[in-house]
Amino acid sequence: MFLDKLKKIYKSDIFPFLVYIFLMICFHFLIQKTGTDDIFFGNACNNTSLWEYLLNRYQNWTSRLVIEAGEVISCGFLPLTLWKFIDICMYILLLYSISKLIITENKRKMNFILVGSLLCIPIFILAEAGWVSTINNYIWTAATGLYAMIPLRKIYNNEKINIPQALSYIVAIIYASNQEQMAGILFIVYACFTFIYTRNKKIKPIIWILDAIIVISLISILLCPGNAVRKVQEIANCYPEYANFGILKKLQIGLTSMMDYCLVQERLLFVVFMFVITLALWKNANNLKSKIFAITPIGICIGFKYCNTFLSKVDFIDLEHSEIYLYFKVIVYLAILVLLAISLYRIFKNDVKKSSLSILIFFTGVISRYVMAFSPTVYASGERTSMFFYISMCMLIVYICNNLFR
């Protein structure tokens, strides 16, 4: 009887989630409040109330009041064990949300691929400013942000949204949209689907409420006096040259800083993403021209990597200060992004809805990292700012594999 239950669990759609949860429990044994931000937020309310602290931060540093309140509570008041339990629940919410949004068939197999893709994200980037602080800012906002997109899926499937579910979506979107990158993602996604559902007369009141929260969050971010003060201080402390950069220079920095992690530092997730894209294109190729295009994106990536390795070993070439090399990188990176967008269209070219959705996922991920071009902490903030871009790649890997298995 017991073995039968184990076999049933093993064969169920949620078994991949159980594997992931086990791995997350093991991983959480390593987490400690040792980072700079963890220590800062742990002592933030030693001599003041939480409300006074948040008012001061809004005036002098940031618009992330909801997230910072969570950080102060997590680092200063909650026992670490309790925070770890909540964090594991957030990882489960992240898995559930992605699965609910894009997986409709072959669920067990696709959930395994989703788990494998998420494990390819470099875990060390979550410790750049402190485990607790970084995870609250990126994993929790990703989990709640994706969960807040589920009503869009429900409306598409003509499913009902009850009051408890609606309230949970409201709470999730309040937290998620307090982070600038996720607020931008939510705005783009909700704007697209609000337009589509309004035109098709499928719009529901909950969508207007969630739209309003996103817009209010963006207005708060744009008008927050602390963000302006913070930018001035960060230019002075992190990147003094940034004050003299024009729009083109900032756009270049945004592109190269994003793609350097993927190509120069050879992130496993990007390698898997490129391999899956190539495999899907090759499977759909029915002539020589299509087969050549199928290997072009990954061929450019491999060629650039070998070229970069060779040039870095040449003594008389200073890659860090070479303008020619910089232009070369920009051209290669732009070509890769354009080819990836075209590739996604070609993979799903027989289904307009799927091709549009895949391109939307890809570009919202790219834009979420690209906006760092307009921040003087584009380098100082580290690789953690690529988290939403990486999660978008995980979603696309699953989406493409599901199409391949079909």
Confidence of residue 316 (pLDDT cuts 50, 70, 90): low
Please give the average per-residue pLDDT across 220-230, as a whole number: 94
Residue 286: both structure tokens together: 């029915």
CB atoms within 10 A of CB 52: 11
Cα–Cα dist 58/122, whole Å:
32
pLDDT in tens, 29-75: 989 888 899 999 999 999 899 999 999 999 999 999 999 999 999 99
pLDDT band at 349 (very low <50, low <70, confident <90, very high): confident
**Per-residue pLDDT band at 266 (split at 50, 70, 90):** confident
* pLDDT interval class at 309 (50, 70, 90): confident
Over residues 100-118, the pLDDT tens digits come to: 999 888 889 999 999 999 9
pLDDT band at 293; cut points 50, 70, 90: very high
Mean pLDDT is lowest, of 3-7, 206-210, 284-288, 300-304, for: 3-7
What share of the chain in percent tops pLDDT 70? 98
What is the pLDDT confidence band of residue 147, given thresholds at 50, 70 and 90? Answer: very high
List pLDDT tens digits, range 160-200: 999 999 999 999 999 999 999 999 999 999 999 999 999 99
Residue 133 has pLDDT above 90, yes or no: yes
Query: Are 224 and 63 contacting, i.e. CB atoms less than 8 angstroms apart?
Result: yes
Query: What is the rounded average pLDDT for all residues in the chain?
Result: 93
Confidence band (pLDDT; 50, 70, 90) for 218?
very high
Q: Could you read off the pLDDT of 376-385 as tens digits, one per residue?
A: 999 989 899 9
DSSP 373: G
The pLDDT of residue 74? 96
The model's pLDDT over 321-348, given as tens digits with 9 standing for 90+, comes to 678 888 999 999 999 999 999 999 999 9
Instruction: Determine the average pLDDT of the residues in 365-389.
Output: 93
**pLDDT number for residue 162:** 94
Q: DSSP 3-state helix, strand, coil percentages of the chain (rounded to 5)? A: 80, 0, 20
pLDDT of residue 315: 67
Q: Which residues of 323-359 are buried (b: 16+ CB within 10 A; e: fewer)?
A: eebeebbeebbeebbebbeebbebbbeeeeebbebbb
**Torsion angles phi and psi, residue 12, rounded to 5:** -80, 165
Q: Determine the average pLDDT of the residues in 305-316.
A: 79
- DSSP letter at 259 equals H
- 216/287: higher pLDDT: 216
Predicted pLDDT of residue 234: 93
Q: Where are the alpha helices (DSSP H) in 268-379?
A: 268-284, 288-312, 323-347, 352-370
